[in-house]
Structures are given as C-alpha cells and as structure tokens.
Amino acid sequence: MSTASFIEKNPADPAIPGDPFAHVRFHYGQLLGAAEFSTEQRAFLWADRIHQAFTHGYGTVIGLATHAQGRDSDGKDREIAISQGFAVDGVGRTLFNDKTLCFDVSALDPRGEFLRGIQPIETGEVTVWRCYAVLRYSACLGNPIPGIRPPCNEASDDLIHSRSFDRIRVDLVERMPTMPHWLHPDWLREVSEMLRHAHPPRDLRAALLEVTTRDVGDLTQMWRAAEEAGVLLACVELAYDRTQRSPAIYIRSIDESVRPILPPVQLLGEQAFGHRLVGPDHRGGRLRLVSVADLPHNKRNSFRTRLRFTHPVNEATVPEGIRIYRLQADGWKRQHELHFDWESPTEVAVGVESDATEHKWRTGTTYQVEVRGGCRPLLSKVGTPFAGWVDDPMPGHGRGLDANIVRNWNPGQ
C-alpha cells in the first residue's frame, strides 16, 4: 500500500505528521519513547477517521442550529448564533460544540479586507454580501509542564505541552465549500441518472456497483485536504444600510437548507422500518396481514383461502377491503360474489361462490389477493387503516398500505 505523510497547517493535531498506516512492532526489551507512542496513537486515530469518512459520510449529526440574534433598537440582528451539537467533517473528524457560539457581525468593516474580497449581490443604498458559515476542526496544545531535555543538551526552563485538545472554529468564507465533498459522490443523482439512461437496462445493484468501484483518484488527498474539510452550516447574507444614522453590518438572512446532514443510523432504521427502535412504540397496534393459506373447496365455495391478521378486523369494511382476482385466458377477472366466514376475530376464510364462477377452479389456478389500505380500506376494530404485510415498513399515523400476493391455488399446501 502506498502511503503519504500528512502535512497540514495545524501541527497540534495528534494524527499528524507521519504514516497513518504504521503500527509499532513491540518486542521484549524495547525502549519506548514519545515517537513510538505517537506512531501507535496516530494509527488508531486515522483508522477511526477513515472508517467514518468512507463508511458513514459527513455533515451535521445533531444540533448546531444557526440563527440570527442580538436585535438592536432599529430591528436589525447583529449576531450569528450556533447552538450546541456535533458534526463529522469530510475527513472523518468529530466536530463537537458544547456551548452556544456567537459572532458579532457589526464588528466587520464594510471597507475591510474580508468584505472587499466578496462581490456584493446587491448595491445601492443597501449593500448585500453573501458568505458562508463553516465549522472546522482545530486542535490546540495545553497543560504545560516542565520539559526534560535529552542528554547532552543544555538545561532549560522550557515548558512542554502535555495535552492536545480537539477543538472547533467557525469561519465565514466567501465561497461555498465543495458540495458534495470529493470523498462522497452524489449517489442519488448519479445512480438515478444511470438507471434512467442505461442501455440495456440495469438493476439498482449494478448501478451502485459501477458508482462504488469507479476510479476515485489519489486517496492521499484525504491527508492533504484536511484544512479545507469543513462542514457547511449556513448561507449568510450580510447587509449595510448607508441611510441609517449609525450604519453597521447586520444580518439580512440565514439559510440552513444548504448544509449536509448525517442522520444517525437509528433514525434511518426507524424511517425505513416504520417502527420505534428505542423504547415502546406509542402508536399502538396496526392492522397487518400475517399469512394467506389455501383451503379446500366446499359445497358453497369453489375456491377458498384463509387470511390471518394481527388484530381484530372491522367486518363491515371487509367487502370493499378484500378482493380476489383470477387469471383467465383473457386476463385478470375480479371475483365479485365472495363469501366471508369468520373463524376468529383475526382470521377470515374468503370463498368464491360456486354458482358465480364461469370456470371451475382447479388446483394450480393463478389468483391474486388484494387487501386495501388506501381507498376504502379494511379497518381494524379501533378504526385504524390496514397497514400492509407484517414485514412491510410501517406507514405513518392515519395512512394505510395495500397488500397484494399472487399465488397458485393449492389447497392443503
């Protein structure tokens, strides 16, 4: 594996400089010094950062709400406030903020170096500049202690910093950071376009495989671009009104919609499965389909199948909520004359009246069961709409989900 030394502007970062993939090979009688411990520490730090960056992504995880405050007598907001929270930057570093940060923009000089470097988006009596609030990793040294000089060096009262602290800083920058970060392609757009325009058509896995295995270039860029790997928090528009008696810079708007977000895996799991994964789900039981099993015909019904549900069913909604379709030579045909025989509050045997069938049902006949959760749905005894198969993602409150299954009628199997 080719490696590269990490060189960046912040030497307090304990993960730099050096080879991020080197471990110390310990042996009996080995003399261990600061270099050996730093080498081992660096390997673990970079292993965590690489895993975070490539596997999970980057963005705001929780908090870090950015808003305007500090309104003065003329109704103008003068401060950018950032709440507590944490994020992960583009190279996998945790950016943790444990207090509210405030930045007074009225201290900016409209003729100063920062604003002179930004092209105004509006000019006239009111000048407006657009800039971006970016959260970045910063490390600092602390806890100084008397230093011990190596042998043959002159005695000194120099202090050595005994701790390196992971910290953050917030920068206002004139250009929007690259979105997305180069390590994280725009999966949704690229895969969607690939599926739409592929000839011959390909499935989702094939498209993901092509995007995942493409050439990403020089991965050592990860070590070299750490200083630029901040997390965008908001787009900020600053304004300066020359008609005011005491003009000063103020905040016209703050737009947080531009920021990357990194939802917790647990949140994504709850969204995908539709279930609360921590603590009880207070939405109560939902009516869902557990199984479909074919039954032998009888004198009244030439076809029968049993549907089992998770909760008792409102019987008045069954005629509209459960439908049977039979595949015939000319296509699907809905079976209208159905008979429902309740075996328990959660189990119903659905039969097709013998005198209503134009063709005799034979073993192997293809049919479809449709249980409706949308228009005119099957309801539970407590009035909740049918919510699909028991292993389907749970729809939201008050929303239903259809369930369909195509089978070959084989009584007793």
Residue 373 lies in a domain: yes
Helix runs in 92-202, H state only: 113-116, 187-197
Residue 293 lies in a domain: yes
Same domain, 247 and 385: no
Count of domains for the chain: 2
Residue 35 lies in a domain: no
Residue 371 sits in which domain range?
289-408
Residue 343 lies in a domain: yes
Same domain, 254 and 379: no
CA proximity to 137, closest of 77, 202, 58:
58
Is the peptide bond between 180 and the residue preceding it cis, with omega within 30 degrees of 0?
yes
Indicate if the pLDDT at residue 130 is higher than 90: yes
Same domain, 95 and 243: yes
Indicate if the pLDDT at residue 235 is higher than 90: yes
Same domain, 131 and 241: yes
Containing 207, the helix (H) or strand (E) segment is helix 204-212
Residue 365 lies in a domain: yes
DSSP three-state, residue 161: strand
Residue 204 lies in a domain: no
Using one digit for the tens of pLDDT, what is the confidence trace for 281-335? Answer: 666 678 999 999 999 888 787 888 999 999 999 999 999 999 999 998 899 999 9
Same domain, 295 and 370: yes
Same domain, 251 and 305: no
Residue 33 lies in a domain: no
Say which range, 115-119, 296-300, 353-357, has the weakest mean pLDDT: 353-357
How confident is the model at residue 395, as a pLDDT? 85
Residue 63 lies in a domain: yes
Same domain, 384 and 254: no
* Domain CATH number, residue 333: 2.60.40.1220
